[in-house]
């Protein structure tokens, strides 16, 4: 039940064929301890039960593509809230996420955006490797991006770069940090990995690699920290890794394969760009 004494938090969820995880995501939105929430779902022409599921939770369901950056921006324009939270359809919120973020914004007017730490949950060996990797990034501003924004700060950034299909979260967070202070909360978002396979994660990174060129050009100063096989976060959490050597080895293997897939995707995109420029 909305609480008229609290600022409205608009939660924007972009979807595309998300029926497997969407109910868990929206249940966690409905279960928030904060009383004044507006839920907006922007669907990219799903062909499964996504739309029907979304409509059972909110009347504010829109259909728009072509990618999630455009969906998020559209949702932000449709929102009425003073604060904006962007959540993916395969994410589940701790029940006090919205309350923690809204309270911090209220008490600290200089904060413009908030990082919510993420953890991974899935089945199988590779999902456990991904969970170990993500646990190393908590508290690392170079690897975590803001998801909760003061509306005026979001609007001053221009929103998500709709020409980016990879790195758009980092890009927006970096631009927001130039306008206002970023902070973080201790409540978590859980990323539902499902039964993660090495092939699936490599396929995803190949796709992002094909579109990463614009992000690299815009944010070249930050990429040296973000695109490394052995990252500073791993060195900081060395003790956590050595007590789980099989998962640590799997994590490094997975990161190496992901980087190879991403580099291959980038090479393919550069080749096609060269062919287009030369008329080959």
Residue 4 maps to a domain: no
Q: Are strands 146-150 and 111-115 parallel, antiparallel or unpaired?
A: antiparallel
DSSP lists the bridge partners of residue 183 as 114
Q: Total structural domains in the chain?
A: 1
Q: What was the pLDDT predicted at 228?
A: 57
Residue 128 per-residue DSSP state:
H
pTM: 0.89
Q: What was the pLDDT predicted at 163?
A: 85
Residue 1 maps to a domain: no
Environment class of 178 (CB within 10 Å of its CB; exposed 0-12, middle 13-18, buried 19+): exposed
Structural domain of 148: 9-278
Residue 2 maps to a domain: no
User: Which of these, 130, 253, 148, 240, lies nearest to 192 by C-alpha position?
Assistant: 130
Q: Can you give the three-state secondary structure of 181-219, one letter per residue?
A: EEEECCCCEEEEEEECCHHHHHHHHHHHHHHCHHHHHHC
Length of the chain: 280
C-beta of residue 125 within 8 angstroms of C-beta of residue 67: no
CA 161 – CA 204 distance, rounded (Å) = 20
User: Residue 72 CA to chain centroid, in angstroms?
Assistant: 11
Backbone φ and ψ for 171, nearest 5 degrees, come out as: -60, -45
Q: What is the mean pLDDT of each run of 10 residues along the chain (280 residues)?
A: 76 97 97 96 96 96 93 97 97 98 95 96 95 91 92 96 86 93 96 94 89 72 55 84 94 93 90 81
Residue 98 maps to a domain: yes
Q: What was the pLDDT predicted at 1?
A: 41
Residue 14 maps to a domain: yes
Location of structure tokens 């728009």: 64
C-beta of residue 188 within 8 angstroms of C-beta of residue 119: yes
Please, what sign has the CA dihedral across residues 58, 63, 66, 70? negative
C-beta of residue 135 within 8 angstroms of C-beta of residue 191: no
Residue 203 maps to a domain: yes
DSSP lists the bridge partners of residue 43 as 15, 63
Residue 121 maps to a domain: yes
For residue 205, give the CATH number of its domain. Answer: 3.90.550.10
Residue 62 maps to a domain: yes
Helix, strand, coil: what percent of the chain each, to 5?
Answer: 50, 20, 30
């Amino acid at each position: 039940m909305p609480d008229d004494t609290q600022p409205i938090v608009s939660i924007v969820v972009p979807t595309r064929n998300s029926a497997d995880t969407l109910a868990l995501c929206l249940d966690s939105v409905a279960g928030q301890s904060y009383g004044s929430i507006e839920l907006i779902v922007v669907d990219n022409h799903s062909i499964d039960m996504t739309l029907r599921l979304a409509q059972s939770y909110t009347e504010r369901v829109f259909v728009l593509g072509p990618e999630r950056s455009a969906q998020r921006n559209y949702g932000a324009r449709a929102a009425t809230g003073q604060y904006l939270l962007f959540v993916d359809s395969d994410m589940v919120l701790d029940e006090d996420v919205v309350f923690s973020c809204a309270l911090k914004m209220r008490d600290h007017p200089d904060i413009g955006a908030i990082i919510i730490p993420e953890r991974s949950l899935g089945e199988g060996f590779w999902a456990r490797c991904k969970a170990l990797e993500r646990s190393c990034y908590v508290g690392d501003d170079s690897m975590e991006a803001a998801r909760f924004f003061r509306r005026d700060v979001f609007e001053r950034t221009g929103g998500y770069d709709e020409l980016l299909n990879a790195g758009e979260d980092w890009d927006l967070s970096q631009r927001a940090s130039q306008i206002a202070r970023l902070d973080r909360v201790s409540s978590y978002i859980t990323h539902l990995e499902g039964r993660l396979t090495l092939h699936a994660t490599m396929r995803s990174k190949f796709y992002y690699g094909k579109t990463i060129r614009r992000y690299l050009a815009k944010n070249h100063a930050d990429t040296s920290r973000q695109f490394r096989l052995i990252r500073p976060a791993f060195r900081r959490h060395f003790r956590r890794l050595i007590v789980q050597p099989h998962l640590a080895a799997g994590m490094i293997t997975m990161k190496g394969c992901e980087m190879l897939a991403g580099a291959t995707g980038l090479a393919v995109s550069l080749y096609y760009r060269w062919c287009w420029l030369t008329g080959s």
